[in-house]
Amino acid sequence: MAGIDEIHAQAVRWIKEAGQRITQSFETILDIETKSSMNDLVTNMDKDVEHFFIERIAERFPDHIVLGEEGAGHDLEELKGVVWIIDPIDGTMNFVHQQRNFAISIGIVENGVGKIGLIYDVVHDELYHCIRGEGAFQNEKRIEPMKEAKLEESIVGLNAIWLTENKKIDKDVTAQLVREVRGTRSYGSAALELIYVATGRLNAYISMRLAPWDFAGGTIIIEELGGKVTDLKGNPIHYLKKSSLIATSPKLHEAIMERYLS
């Protein structure tokens, strides 16, 4: 099996190349379709980028498996071997409407354990990446370990939808959280919001419903920097299952869980 450094180097090369394909598409007219609802968008570029990775991975690492959001990869029942969990464009709505605030997200997991995380903020040419146990980087610059923040001084990433009537959480609980923290932000890309937690731009990110391709890359990077990622019951997240998610520093995790989620 290929070594971890080789897999990481190859992933870095491909994610940059995929980013170029996306920026070049800014000049073209996108083919936009809807998926589960009118607000769930997919474009020809989401599919193109997913295919791009699948083809290259199959050629270079034929024993690796791909789990991609757009479904062109493998159908998986368990996490055996090396699995690339790929969101070709996280923040498709932003990509379509704003041509910014989106990212490519990749988590590479070996036998269920996160080994390599990459999130590429294409428009800013900022690649966040790590190999488990070797520190995390923004381009070539090492990212400092995550710092703790007090609840009342923290900025929390949260989608406003969770302040409306919904089946996942009592909206009064989220409203109370919004009132008690210093501020909330909603960027429309889970991958970017996770990387903002990793780099201290946000102190926590909370979502009631995410898929493995939304959180795999970001979780691996956050954990590398000493952060904690669980579902809203405090259970470890699983790289094959959709779940709720809270990503933050360990003490703030405890504080939020105790005050709002227990």
Binding site for Ca ion (CB under 5 A): 69, 87, 89-90, 214
Beta strands in the chain (DSSP E): 32-34, 41-43, 65-68, 82-90, 103-110, 113-121, 126-131, 136-138, 141-142, 155-158, 183-185, 204-210, 228-230, 243-248
C-alpha 216/C-alpha 239 separation (Å) is: 6
219 binds, among ligand IPD, Ca ion, none (CB under 5 to 8 A by kind): none
> How is residue 4 written in tokens?
């971890």
Answer yes or no whether residue 243 interacts with ligand IPD by CB under 6 A: no
Exactly one of 7, 136, 190, 261 binds ligand IPD (CB under 6 A); which one? Answer: 190
Residue 191, CA distances (Å) to 92, 145, 214 in order: 12, 18, 6
Q: What is the DSSP string of 134-147?
A: S-EEETTEEPPPP-
User: Mask of contacts with ligand IPD, 151-180, x by CB under 6 A?
Assistant: --------x---------------------
- Stretch of 4-12, 111-119, 186-194, 244-252 contacting ligand IPD, by CB under 6 A: 186-194
- Of 173 and 211, CB closest to ligand IPD: 211
Answer yes or no whether residue 72 interacts with ligand IPD by CB under 6 A: no
Q: Is-contact 16 127, C-beta < 8 A? A: yes
Exactly one of 22, 82, 85, 92 binds ligand IPD (CB under 6 A); which one? Answer: 92
- Stretch of 5-13, 20-28, 89-97, 225-233 contacting ligand IPD, by CB under 6 A: 89-97
